[in-house]
Amino acid sequence: MDVRLYTIPGSHPGVAVQAMMKAKGVQYKRTDLFPVIQKLVVRSMGFPKQTVPAMKIDGRKVQGSREIARELDRLRPDPPLFPEDPEKRLAVEEAERFGDEELQHPIRQTIWWALRKDKAPLRSYSEGAKLGIPIGLAVATASPILALTARYNEATDENVRRDLAALPGYLDRIDAWIEAGVLDGEQLNVADYQIAPSLRLAMTLQDLRPAIDARPAGKFARRVIPDYPGDAPPVFPPAWLQALNSLPTT
Ligand SMILES: N[C@@H](CCC(=O)N[C@@H](CS)C(=O)NCC(=O)O)C(=O)O
């Protein structure tokens, strides 16, 4: 199987599909793209959307972490990403949907807001990436890209403040799924791989890391994705972190 993954450094759905391929023993090559530029590159290659992860498998184009998961499972069924039992599969698919549609984007907005405020940590997010230019140069010239990326992701003060206020509720849902055995079971499933990278990306922010680490969700995320590039010092106004840092309500 000839597989090439197109992603951007630190992309959480990009990390998700890489963890799935690792679990399945799928060998692949990776092309790291710059944010913003990636839209043009991916579209010019004929992918229907402008997002990453995007993948060419034996010349065929597959785009989106959920679509890629299904294609990987079809091509390399072992170990399976979905439980066989129909009821368990429904629960896993609902957790996967939540990870993709509800959790992924608020974390994306939060990260871009933080990096726009302070671009110094950008270097740490590019660890291991091959961007085609020296990383120092990429970081030094990143401000316009960061401004554009924050803008098209709508990483505004208002949205990010709301995202941070919603985070404890998301963590409650994840902890409940862990408790119920939907997540963090013996055999990792597609929802584990979808959700854990978003948590790990959030945990690169020193403002959020202790509160997530204190929960089952934090332990789970570190189990599924042991290493995640990036480390950003505190950057958010303390008032935005009030909900996260107060005691859990459950
Ligand atoms: N939810 C989708 C979308 C992924 C997505 O939005 N990826 C970001 C990078 S993390 C991206 O490509 N953004 C560029 C854009 O929206 O144009 C997935 O899991 O594949």
**Ligand 1: residue whose CA is nearest its atom 19:** 65
| Long-range contact set of residues 27-30: C-beta below 8 Å, sequence gap at least 24 | 27/1, 27/3, 28/3, 28/4, 28/55, 29/3, 29/4, 29/5, 30/4, 30/5, 30/6, 30/130
Task: Evaluate if residue 30 carries a pLDDT over 90.
Answer: yes
Structure tokens belonging to residue 27: 């060998």
Q: Which residues pair with 30 in a beta bridge?
A: 5
Q: Name residue 123's amino acid.
A: R
Tell me how far the alpha carbon of residue 194 lies from the centroid of ligand 1, in angstroms.
13
Q: CB within 8 A of 91, min separation 6: which ones?
A: 177, 180, 182
Report whether pLDDT(248) > 90: no
* Best mutation site among 51, 65, 97, 103 for ligand 1 pocket (most ligand atoms within 8 Å of CB): 51
- Over residues 61-114, the pLDDT tens digits come to 999 999 999 999 999 999 999 999 999 999 999 999 999 999 999 999 999 999
Q: Residue of the nearest CA to atom 2 in ligand 1?
A: 64
The stretches of 29-142 forming alpha helices (DSSP H) are 37-44, 65-75, 86-98, 104-117, 122-125, 135-140
The whole-angstrom separation of Cα 38 and Cα 36 is: 5
Q: What is the pLDDT of residue 247?
A: 59
Rounded CA gap, 229 and 101, in Å?
23
- Residue range 165-224, pLDDT digits in tens: 999 999 999 999 999 999 999 999 999 999 999 999 999 999 999 999 999 999 999 999
Closest ligand 1 atom to 52 CA: 12
Q: Which residues pair with 60 in a beta bridge?
A: 57
